[in-house]
Amino acid sequence: MSEVVSVFDKEALELLFQTRSLLDEVLETMDILADEELMKAIRKSEDEVEKGEARDLKDFVKELGLENV
C-alpha cells in the first residue's frame, strides 16, 4: 500500500481551498455578467424595486398560502 504525503501544511491547504472558492465565485459572476438576457432581467428587477413595485417576501409567501410550510 502506498502512503499519501502532502507537501502543504494545513494553513497552505486552507488558503488553496479559499482561493479556489474565490475563483469559482469570480467565474460565476463573469458568466452572469456575460448573459445579456439575465442582466436585462436583473436591471428591470432593480428598477421595479427602486420604483416601489416589488412586494415584501412575507406578503408574497402569505399570498401563496405557504406561511405555515
Supply the pLDDT for residue 18.
97
pLDDT score for 31: 98
Query: Which pLDDT does position 45 carry in this prediction?
Result: 95
Whether pLDDT at 67 is above 90: no
Residue 56 CA to residue 68 CA, distance in Å, equals 17
Mind listing the pLDDT tens digit for each residue in 7-55? 888 999 999 999 999 999 999 999 999 999 999 999 999 999 999 998 8
Task: Name the CA radius of gyration of the chain, rounded.
Answer: 22
pLDDT score recorded for residue 1: 62
Amino acid identity, position 45: S
Given a cut of 90, whether residue 69 has pLDDT beyond it is no
> How many residues belong to the chain?
69
Distance of CA 33 to the CA centre of its chain: 13
In the chain, domain spans: 10-63
Amino acid in position 36: E
